Each structure stands twice: as structure tokens, then as C-alpha cells.
């Protein structure tokens, strides 16, 4: 017979060696469930959106202005052969932009029949927050922003959860013509 081992036996040996080496490592006593999303700054607030709500994040693209649309519609951009309407969320909410042009980003929403780019003040990256810190009690918000916020995470800094689905169903948002 040959001295070769079956690959499964090699994996079992390797697993045993790993368990021996890991014996001195500390164990995690408490497991806490976390919520993951993308953080962004809008209307002077830190906001969050669930990972599945947006399809991509872009630098502010070049766009072509459109006639006879509301002031918060910046125009349309050609993104990989698709026309992407660009909406300035600060203008939509009637608040001043809090960041410079270099920090501004476009969150692309592509669900059901809605394909739109939402221009926000800044993207803060991935956020992982303990589910236990979520609360539906909201701080003082601008009346125009409140219908789109479903709650927030408490911690070092408060982060509000933005509901893009509510925005996508809002007739004021969908009706862009003057």
C-alpha cells in the first residue's frame, strides 16, 4: 500500500492541529447581534441606510440639467449606458448643504420601477451597530425629513435610519415636473 492519505484525513488532522493551537485564545463570552448599513450625512444629521436599499455609491457625476423640473432635480447623468436622474436631497428637504463638493456622493436607488441617484452631503462608509441600541424615538427633526426616518441608533453619536422605500412611495418626490 502507499503512504498517501485521503484528503479528508488530511483536513481532519489540520482541524485537530488548529484546535490545539487555539486552546489558549480568549473566547467571546457575549455575542451581540449587529445591524449593518451605510452611513451618510444629510441635512446636518448622520443617517444610515440598510445594505440592500442602495445598489451603488458614486462620486457626483457630470449631468445634464433638465428644463421644467423642480429645483432639487439636478439633471440626468449617463451611468454605464443608463440615464440616472440626480436628485439633490438637501434641496429636496429645504436645508443647506453641510459638505463640500468633493465629499458629496450619489447613492443609487434601483428597485421596482425607480432608478434614481440621491445626492447626499457625505458618505461615511459601512457602519456596524448593536441591534440593542436601536430606538424608534426620534430627536427633533425638520418636519420635511421626519416621514423618512424610522428610528435611530444611540451611541457615541446618534445615527438615524433613513427609509428609502418611504421616499420611493412619496408622490411629492415622484412628481418632479413644475
Position 61 scores a pLDDT of 94
The C-alpha atoms of residue 13 and residue 19 are separated, in whole angstroms, by 10
| Across 4-8, 47-51, 58-62, 158-162, least confident range | 4-8
Element (H, E) at 56: strand 56-59
Domain housing 165: 34-174
- pLDDT category at 23 given cuts 50, 70, 90 is low
The C-alpha atoms of residue 150 and residue 29 are separated, in whole angstroms, by 32
C-alpha grid cell for residue 170? 412619496
Which of 116-131 are b and which e, b meaning 16 or more Cβ less than 10 Å from the residue's Cβ? bbbbbbbbbeebebee
The C-alpha atoms of residue 10 and residue 12 are separated, in whole angstroms, by 5
- Give a yes or no: residue 6 inside a domain: no
Strand bridging mode 45-50 / 159-162: parallel
Q: What residues does 45 pair with on adjacent strands?
A: 42
Of 92, 110, 112, 126, the closest CA to residue 53 belongs to 110
- CB count within 10 Å of CB 151 equals 14
Could you read off the pLDDT of 65-101 as tens digits, one per residue?
999 999 999 999 999 999 999 999 999 999 887 767 8
- Give a yes or no: residue 19 inside a domain: no
- Give a yes or no: residue 8 inside a domain: no
- Give a yes or no: residue 133 inside a domain: yes
How many folded domains does the chain comprise? 1
- Give a yes or no: residue 136 inside a domain: yes
- Give a yes or no: residue 86 inside a domain: yes
- Give a yes or no: residue 4 inside a domain: no
- Give a yes or no: residue 1 inside a domain: no
150 in Cβ contact with 136 (< 8 Å): yes
Percent of the chain, pLDDT > 90? 62
What CATH number is attached to the domain comprising 131? 2.40.50.180
- pLDDT category at 27 given cuts 50, 70, 90 is low
Position 163 scores a pLDDT of 93
Position 135 scores a pLDDT of 93
Amino acid at each position: 500500500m502507499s503512504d498517501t492519505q485521503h484528503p479528508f484525513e488530511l483536513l481532519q488532522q489540520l482541524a485537530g492541529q488548529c484546535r490545539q493551537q487555539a486552546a489558549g485564545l480568549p473566547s467571546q463570552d457575549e455575542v451581540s447581534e449587529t445591524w449593518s448599513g451605510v452611513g451618510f450625512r444629510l441635512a446636518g444629521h448622520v443617517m444610515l441606510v440598510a445594505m440592500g436599499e442602495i445598489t451603488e455609491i458614486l462620486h457626483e457625476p457630470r449631468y445634464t440639467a433638465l428644463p421644467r423640473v423642480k429645483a432639487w432635480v439636478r439633471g440626468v447623468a449617463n451611468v454605464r449606458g443608463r440615464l440616472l436622474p440626480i436628485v439633490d436631497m438637501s434641496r429636496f428637504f429645504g436645508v443647506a448643504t453641510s459638505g463640500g463638493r468633493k465629499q458629496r456622493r450619489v447613492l443609487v436607488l434601483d428597485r421596482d420601477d425607480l432608478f434614481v441617484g440621491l445626492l447626499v452631503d457625505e458618505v461615511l462608509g459601512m457602519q456596524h451597530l448593536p441591534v440593542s441600541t436601536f430606538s424608534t424615538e426620534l430627536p427633533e427633526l425638520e418636519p420635511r425629513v421626519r416621514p423618512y426616518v424610522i428610528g435611530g441608533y444611540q451611541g457615541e453619536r446618534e445615527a438615524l435610519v433613513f427609509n428609502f422605500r418611504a421616499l420611493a412611495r412619496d408622490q411629492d418626490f415622484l412628481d418632479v415636473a413644475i
